[in-house]
Homo-oligomer: A and B are copies of this chain.
Amino acid sequence: MFKAKIYIILKPSVLDPQGNAVMHALHSLGHEEVADVRVSKYIEVMFNISDEKIVSEKVELICDKVLANPNTETYNYELEPVSDAEANKN
């Protein structure tokens, strides 16, 4: 099994209203030294596949077609092998 750790991040040119809201909330709480906040998604996907190359292709397909909006977001990911014992623990 593999665990894919997928980061889906807004492109730098895209406004992030959620991040701005968090930044203003932090400023109003006195954390004036916060210069910028960007809120993104972090998705962990477990795959019942043992071949890293196939997992990698699957992750890119899923990100391109389902998880990320190619107009506004980019993604990157890391793969981590997981033993069946560890997978059952969660």
**Chain A interface (Cβ < 8 Å from any Cβ of B):** 1, 7, 9, 12, 19, 22, 25-26, 29, 31, 33-49, 58, 62, 65-67, 87, 90
Contacts and interface: CB of A to CB of B under 8 A. Distances in A.
25 contacts: A7-B42, A19-B43, A22-B43, A22-B66, A25-B66, A26-B66, A29-B65, A31-B58, A31-B62, A33-B48, A33-B49, A34-B45, A34-B47, A34-B48, A34-B62, A35-B48, A36-B44, A36-B46, A37-B45, A37-B46, A38-B44, A39-B42, A39-B43, A40-B43, A42-B42
Given A12-B90, A25-B66, A26-B62, A43 B38 contact: yes
Contact of A43 (B37, B58, B65, B67): B37
